[in-house]
């Protein structure tokens, strides 16, 4: 017997860990983000606040709710995060199912050739890609090996709607 | 500095300009980790410690979980200093030292602390002038050889204990924002 999980959000939470309300930088506010977006700290020399921007491989954590998800339309919180320039960041050992991962390898995304799929294997380490998505690759060679999660279940369109299930360890 | 309040005429939007943190302690906790009551070893009890002090486990002759000053390893860090100004003339003045205990924090969370290394190990221990450590957002943090937060890995091959969430600057009273991963 299997459960039927409603995956109506970018991040579906199975086990909650810690959350931190953070402010977001102008790039995030203007560009928006999906739930599960990896973020890293950014300094603002003039304000005593804790602020994040898109991850380029480092962490902070990941953002729980997207800036404009379909499940948030026509309700009181519609676009409240980019409007008021805040988000909710997740740290610690979460178990989530998410659509925010790199489907294709970095080389194939940025090269001229055909797209090559990333292989997600249960138990393998995940990092943040150069745009802050979960990926098995270490895309930025200049950084230490900053792994942020492990794969629980690989994306599969038949059994999990193509969501990646992972355990974070940030 | 940008004026955030009151909002511009005709606007209903209030741009939240940041928190007003009262930093009256060595270690200000914004997101709490796990806390443990631990015994302190004789060196800690004698020397005292600031809030945010890194500690590591040490074997004791009694059946008590005991910590000592970190020399790069962890344990965790101590939440309250042994003799902070905010604890003067209260019921708990000096009680951690008196009773030989402290409250250790581990796990994941966010703090703002004054207990970090301001100068490089080489300049602290060498004969030359002191060389400031320049902290940047997302720098990995370690415990120094005396258990303070530092971006230098003073003890080789030991794990990082956090990342820089906020750099020391005038508007935060030169406290270091630490996202700890202990």
A47-56, A101-110, B17-26, B112-121: range with lowest mean pLDDT = B17-26
| Dist CA B54 CA B102 (whole Å) | 12
Q: What does residue A98 show for φ and ψ, rounded to 5 degrees?
A: -145, 155
Averaged over B138-163, what is the pLDDT? Answer: 95
Say which residue the tokens 């690989």 belong to.
A154
pLDDT for res A2: 61
**pLDDT tier at B16 (50, 70, 90 boundaries)?**
low
Query: Above 70 in pLDDT, residue A135?
Result: yes
Residue A170 to residue B165, Cβ atoms within 8 A: no
With respect to residue A19, please indicate whether it lies within any of the assigned structural domains.
yes
Number of domains in chain A: 1
Residue A20 to residue B31, Cβ atoms within 8 A: yes
pLDDT for res A3: 65
Q: Chain centroid to CA A86: how far?
A: 16
Q: Read off the pLDDT of residues A99-134 as tens digits, 9 standing for 90 and up.
A: 999 999 999 999 988 999 999 999 999 999 999 999
Q: Give me the interface pTM, i.e. the ipTM.
A: 0.88
**pLDDT tier at B8 (50, 70, 90 boundaries)?**
low
Q: Chain centroid to CA B178: how far?
A: 8
- Inter-chain contacts counted by CB atoms under 8 A, chains A and B: 77
Residue B165 to residue A41, Cβ atoms within 8 A: yes
Closest residue in B to A56 (Cα–Cα):
B138
With respect to residue A104, please indicate whether it lies within any of the assigned structural domains.
yes
Say which residue the tokens 């983000």 belong to.
A33
Q: How far is B57 from chain A (nearest CA, A)?
A: 23
Per-position DSSP letters for B14-28, written without gaps between them: -----------SSEE
Find out whether B146 and B116 touch, Cβ atoms under 8 Å: no
pTM over 0.90: no
**pLDDT tier at A159 (50, 70, 90 boundaries)?**
confident
Instruction: Establish if A45 touches chain B: CB-CB under 8 angstroms.
Output: yes
Where in the sequence is the domain holding A160, given as residue range(s)?
A: 11-168
pLDDT for res B23: 87
Q: Read off the pLDDT of residues A22-40 as tens digits, 9 standing for 90 and up.
A: 999 999 999 999 999 999 9
A residues 132-161 near B, CB within 8 Å? 144
With respect to residue A51, please indicate whether it lies within any of the assigned structural domains.
yes
What sign results for the dihedral spanned by CA atoms A98, A104, A105, A110?
Answer: negative
3-state secondary structure of A17: coil
Query: Above 70 in pLDDT, residue A1?
Result: no
pLDDT for res A112: 84
Closest CB to B18 among A48, A91, A170: A48
With respect to residue A15, please indicate whether it lies within any of the assigned structural domains.
yes
Residue A43 to residue B16, Cβ atoms within 8 A: no
- Which residues of chain A neighbour B172 with C-beta distances below 8 Å? 48
Average pLDDT of chain A? 93
- Which residues of chain B neighbour A85 with C-beta distances below 8 Å? 15-16
């Amino acid at each position: 017997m299997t459960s039927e999980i409603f995956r109506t959000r970018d991040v579906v939470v199975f086990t909650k860990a810690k959350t931190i309300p953070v402010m977001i930088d102008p790039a995030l506010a203007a560009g928006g983000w999906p739930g599960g977006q990896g973020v890293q700290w950014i300094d603002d020399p003039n304000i005593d606040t804790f602020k994040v921007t898109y991850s380029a491989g480092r962490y902070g954590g990941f953002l729980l709710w997207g800036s404009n998800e379909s499940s948030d339309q026509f309700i009181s919180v519609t676009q409240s995060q980019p409007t008021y320039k805040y988000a909710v960041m997740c740290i610690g050992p979460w178990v989530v199912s998410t659509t925010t991962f790199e489907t294709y390898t970095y080389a194939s995304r940025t090269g001229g050739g055909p797209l090559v799929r990333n292989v997600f294997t249960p138990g393998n380490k995940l990092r943040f890609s150069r745009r802050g998505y979960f990926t098995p690759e270490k895309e930025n060679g200049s950084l230490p090996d900053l792994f942020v999660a492990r794969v629980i279940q690989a994306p599969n369109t038949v059994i999990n709607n193509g969501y990646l299930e992972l355990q974070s360890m940030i | 500095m940008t004026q955030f309040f009151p909002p511009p005429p005709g606007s209903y939007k209030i741009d939240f300009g940041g928190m007003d943190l009262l930093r009256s302690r060595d270690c200000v906790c914004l997101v709490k980790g796990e806390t443990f009551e631990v015994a302190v070893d004789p060196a800690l009890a004698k020397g005292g410690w600031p809030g945010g002090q890194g500690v590591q486990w040490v074997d004791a002759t009694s059946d008590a979980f005991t910590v000592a000053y970190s020399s790069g390893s962890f344990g965790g860090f101590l939440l309250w200093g042994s003799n902070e100004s905010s604890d003067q003339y209260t019921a708990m003045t000096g009680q951690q030292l008196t009773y030989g205990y402290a409250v250790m924090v581990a796990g994941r969370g966010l703090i703002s602390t004054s207990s970090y290394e301001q100068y490089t190990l080489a300049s602290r221990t060498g004969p030359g002038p002191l060389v400031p450590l320049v902290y940047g957002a997302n720098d990995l943090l370690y415990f120094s050889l005396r258990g303070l937060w530092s971006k230098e890995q003073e003890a080789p091959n030991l794990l990082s204990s956090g990342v820089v969430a906020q750099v020391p600057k005038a508007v935060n009273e030169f406290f270091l924002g630490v996202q700890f991963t202990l």
